[in-house]
A and B are shown apart, each in its own frame.
Chain A
Amino acid sequence: MTSSDVARQPDKGVRPLSLAGHVGFDSLPDQLVNKSICQGFCFNILCIGETGIGKSTLMDTLFNTNFENFESSHFEPQVKLRAQTYDLQESNVRLRLTVVNTVGFGDQMNKQESYQPVVDYIDKQFESYLQEELKIKRSLHNYHDSRVHACLYFISPSGHSLKSLDLVTMKKLDSKVNIIPVIAKADTISKSELHKFKIKIMSELVSNGVQIYQFPLDDETVAKVNTAMNGHLPFAVVGSTEEVSIGNKMVKARQYPWGIVQVENEHHCDFVKLREMLICVNMEDLREQTHTRHYELYRRCKLEEMGFKDTDPECKPVSLQQTYEAKRQEFLVDLQKREDEMRQIFVQRVKEKESELKEAERELQSRFEQLKRLHADEKAALEEKKRLLDEDQSSFSKRRTAAQLLQAQSLTANGKKDKDRKNSGFM
């Protein structure tokens, strides 16, 4: 719902009016809330901290469930981010929670580039939202907002001061995300040390110009609480999902031989304050800050980078449309060039292929000729042989008939002789 801030004093042209009776639009906030309940909410938390500092445990404790967690090794070559999305429901409110953890933060020998994957991830979420917003056919109200709303930075409880890695990382992130620094594993620090530690941390942040998230003070109903909480930053937290029985109750606590640290005891740690601030009081403000401040900054920088301006050198307002037209002309000219190039290449290739094919055709032709000749030769040879064979045959048959004749003649002659002999024999 985008509506302008209605000023306390009437602007020009807006008449104040008094109502003579009950109209009924005081149900508007209820209508708005009902719509939001139907839609569901979205919240994304980024946890940055060294391996083993208790990020996953704190998330489990904060949201009172068991997110599936893997213990990471200390030997990651690079910092990576692992994002997991969960659907939670409490009474009638549905929340889509995305928890992003850094893996391998602070483990490398050379930590100069440690912050880069985190910055890249945050930018990527902004980018995808920007892309969605710039689409022609967009569906912003159905869009799953993955921009990081809150960043919990886990400070290791050395008791002295911030590490330089912490300072560098927070400095890089403070203009991109709402940073809430927390002191992890606060049960290793004593009360007095903790007090000094907190003061040291805050002064270091201020002197280095790191802007952490300040709880908003403009709404009277929560201003008091938020001011008090602002003074308690950074929160010293202890996380635990194990339950220990104290008296007759089961409470979340960590059990040591020397005592039991209760997570939800305000005297023991600031966990309750963190939960309240993060979830119960300021969740909506965190989301709003992300959208109106950090995202707008990103969008502005990105668009200016791409060359779009609101006013041209003569300080006349340049409509986005004009700049866009100019850019588009450029783009089209570029495309045209590339298309021409491609066409040329295509034509060339076609020519080459054609010549190749012609070559092949000629070859085939010559081979065909050759084969034909061979065939003709063989045929001729065969004809020759046939003729010879025929001749032989005919001469053979002539001789045969001659022989037969001779035989027949000699037979009759012999028969006469025989007869004669026979006849003479009898004589």
Chain B
Amino acid sequence: MLEQDGEVVKDARRAASIGPEVFSSYSSSAMSEAVVPDTMVSPAVSSLYGEKTGGPAVDFSYVGIDAILEQMRRKAMKQGFELNIMVVGQSGLGKSTLMNTLFKSKVSRKSVMATAQEKIPKTIEIKSISHDIEEKGVRMKLTVIDTPGFGDQINNENCWQPIMKFINDQYEAYLQEEININRKKRIPDSRVHCCIYFIPPTGHCLRPLDVEFMRRLSKVVNIVPVIAKADTLTLEERDFFKKKIREELRANGIDVYPQKEFDEDAEDRMINEKIREMIPFAVVGSDQEYQVNGRRLLGRKTKWGTIEVENIAHCEFAYLRDLLIRTHMQNIKDITSSIHYEMYRVRRLNENNTAVAHANGIPEHHLAAHEM
């Protein structure tokens, strides 16, 4: 019980294990309570000369390193989180409704407005609205970036440009803040973490607009393609459509989230392979509740039946929600900050240098010392 597992492996880096097994149960209970275990370690010895103590036998080999997880969690809860999602797709595909369904609240007020008065914008606009949401003590600043006017014009050439520009502008703002001398403690993160692209449910294959957009944007942002209004496809049509889309994505070299090259280890790869086999998710959005089998569920009521949004037999909304929110949110943010942003930064900082460097034959690392 009182094992002093201080065996030191003679290595270039010494690895020592400290009282492992005995405390795994302790540390998991420590995670759930936020209280510092100060009563735990001191043995209840009342005098110098060690009488038999009735307290719990304490393992002196416990150091407390794993308490750092609890500290991190506390810090994260205090700071709050940020998430920036962009939705791209033609008008009428149900983007706003899907956002409302994902976050179970009126994230976008558009779905309530009468469509007769809505005008399709002449150019692509980028509308960014932020919301403060909280769940079980976890606070999040959710920013939904809408792109009305995308793909709605007659001539849609270069419709990705305003969007690319917006995304790059966010990276630029972050970069400028980062290279300031007096910089803020926490740089506000407005970078687009995830871009949900809505594919209209034609059932055939991707349109040139889709291919072009995804090809260009998958290089700068995480793209999650979804098949919108999937209740117009039967299951067979849906499978065929998905297969076709996957083939086309592969054929065009489009790497959507989760990207193959960013899989970290075998376990990751396994999980991500399963997801990659299901992309694109066929979703149905709804923010109205109906009574089904005695329960109130979100769904769409039609004359031939009620489509339950969260039923995986009906549509794949639940998978999308799990991917985006419950399991891969942190991963999405990490890829944005450590890969897409870094690529932007490298490109941007190199812009100033390449011409001169080649002219003078100065090696890059020499410049990097003076580089900002």
Give the interface of A toward B (CB within 8 A): 1-6, 10, 13-38, 41, 62-68, 85-93, 95-96, 131, 134-138, 140-141, 218-219, 221-222, 225, 243, 246-252, 259-260, 262, 264-268, 272, 275-276, 279-285, 288, 292, 296, 299-300, 303-304, 308-310, 319-321, 324-325, 327-328, 331-332, 335
Contact A300 B72 (CB under 8 A): no
Identify which of B16, B60, B326 contacts A251 (C-beta below 8 A). Answer: B60
B337 within 8 A of A: yes
Contact A26 B23 (CB under 8 A): no
Q: Which of B42-50, B146-154, B275-283 contacts A (4 or more CB under 8 A)?
A: B42-50
CA distance A252 to B4 in the complex (A): 11
Identify which of A16, A88, A309 contacts B65 (C-beta below 8 A). Answer: A88
CA distance A335 to B20 in the complex (A): 59
CA distance A168 to B53 in the complex (A): 46
Which A residues are in CB contact (< 8 Å) with B137?
Answer: 26
Contact B106 A89 (CB under 8 A): no
Q: Closest residue to B100 on the A side, CB-wise?
A: A20
Identify which of A1, A63, A332 contacts B63 (C-beta below 8 A). Answer: A63
Are A219 and B334 also in contact (CB < 8 A) when A23-B103, A136-B368 are?
no
24 contacts between A and B (CB under 8 A): A3-B186, A6-B139, A16-B131, A19-B134, A20-B105, A29-B77, A62-B63, A64-B6, A64-B18, A89-B16, A134-B369, A136-B368, A136-B371, A219-B74, A221-B34, A225-B36, A225-B38, A262-B45, A276-B36, A280-B64, A310-B180, A320-B180, A320-B372, A335-B360
Contact B69 A66 (CB under 8 A): no
B37 within 8 A of A: yes
Contact B60 A64 (CB under 8 A): yes
Minimum CB–CB distance from B237 to chain A (whole Å) comes to: 30
CA distance A324 to B51 in the complex (A): 71
Q: A6-B132, A89-B18 are in contact. List 9 more A-B contacts (CB 8 A).
A: A1-B81, A6-B139, A16-B133, A29-B138, A85-B13, A86-B14, A86-B15, A135-B368, A303-B181
CA distance A266 to B51 in the complex (A): 16
Q: Closest residue to A246 on the B side, CB-wise?
A: B50
Contact A25 B82 (CB under 8 A): no
Give the interface of B toward A (CB within 8 A): 2, 4, 6, 8, 13-20, 23-24, 27, 34-38, 41-43, 45, 48-53, 57, 60-69, 71-83, 102-107, 129-142, 176, 179-183, 185-189, 264, 321-322, 325-331, 333-334, 337-338, 342, 345-346, 349-350, 352-353, 356, 360, 362, 364, 368-372
CA distance A249 to B185 in the complex (A): 49
Provide the main secondary structure of the chain A interface.
mixed
CA distance A219 to B186 in the complex (A): 18
Contact A221 B368 (CB under 8 A): no
Minimum CB–CB distance from A21 to chain B (whole Å) comes to: 4
Minimum CB–CB distance from B264 to chain A (whole Å) comes to: 8
Identify which of A137, A247, A310 contacts B51 (C-beta below 8 A). Answer: A247
Identify which of A36, A62, A281, A321 contacts B36 (C-beta below 8 A). Answer: A281
Are A283 and B356 also in contact (CB < 8 A) when A91-B23, A251-B43 are?
no
CA distance A140 to B64 in the complex (A): 27
Q: Closest residue to B78 on the A side, CB-wise?
A: A219
Give the A-B contact count at a CB cut-off of 8 A.
329
CA distance A37 to B70 in the complex (A): 12
CA distance A16 to B328 in the complex (A): 24
Contact A3 B81 (CB under 8 A): yes
Identify which of B17, B19, B27, B71 contacts A285 (C-beta below 8 A). Answer: B71
Contact B6 A283 (CB under 8 A): no
Are A29 and B73 also in contact (CB < 8 A) when A6-B141, A20-B104 are?
yes
Minimum CB–CB distance from A313 to chain B (whole Å) comes to: 16
Contact B183 A296 (CB under 8 A): yes
Q: Closest residue to A279 on the B side, CB-wise?
A: B64
Contact B48 A259 (CB under 8 A): yes
CA distance A300 to B182 in the complex (A): 7
Contact A17 B43 (CB under 8 A): no
Are A63 and B14 also in contact (CB < 8 A) when A4-B189, A319-B176, A320-B180 are?
no
Contact B60 A5 (CB under 8 A): no
Are A304 and B362 also in contact (CB < 8 A) when A20-B105, A247-B53, A264-B43 are?
no
Q: Closest residue to A281 on the B side, CB-wise?
A: B36
Which A residues are in CB contact (< 8 Å) with B342?
Answer: 137-138
Which B residues are in CB contact (< 8 Å) with A13?
Answer: 130
Minimum CB–CB distance from A23 to chain B (whole Å) comes to: 5
Identify which of B6, B51, B185, B325 contacts A25 (C-beta below 8 A). Answer: B325
CA distance A23 to B142 in the complex (A): 13
Which A residues are in CB contact (< 8 Å) with B264?
Answer: 38
Which B residues are in CB contact (< 8 Å) with A309?
Answer: 181
CA distance A377 to B141 in the complex (A): 107
Contact B61 A64 (CB under 8 A): yes
Contact A136 B72 (CB under 8 A): no
Identify which of A4, A28, A310 contacts B186 (C-beta below 8 A). Answer: A4
Are A3 and B80 also in contact (CB < 8 A) when A86-B13, A136-B349 are?
yes
Which B residues are in CB contact (< 8 Å) with A247?
Answer: 50-53
CA distance A414 to B61 in the complex (A): 143
Contact B326 A24 (CB under 8 A): yes
Contact A25 B372 (CB under 8 A): no
Contact A281 B67 (CB under 8 A): yes
Contact A304 B131 (CB under 8 A): no
Which A residues are in CB contact (< 8 Å) with B2?
Answer: 249-250
Which A residues are in CB contact (< 8 Å) with B42?
Answer: 264-266, 272
Minimum CB–CB distance from A56 to chain B (whole Å) comes to: 14
Contact B71 A281 (CB under 8 A): yes
Identify which of B61, B65, B331 contacts A95 (C-beta below 8 A). Answer: B65
Q: Closest residue to B77 on the A side, CB-wise?
A: A29
Of the candidates B16, B106, B322, the one having the most CB atoms from chain A within 10 angstroms of its own CB is B16
Contact A136 B350 (CB under 8 A): yes
Which A residues are in CB contact (< 8 Å) with B79?
Answer: 3, 5-6
Contact A135 B371 (CB under 8 A): yes
Which A residues are in CB contact (< 8 Å) with B325?
Answer: 23-25, 27
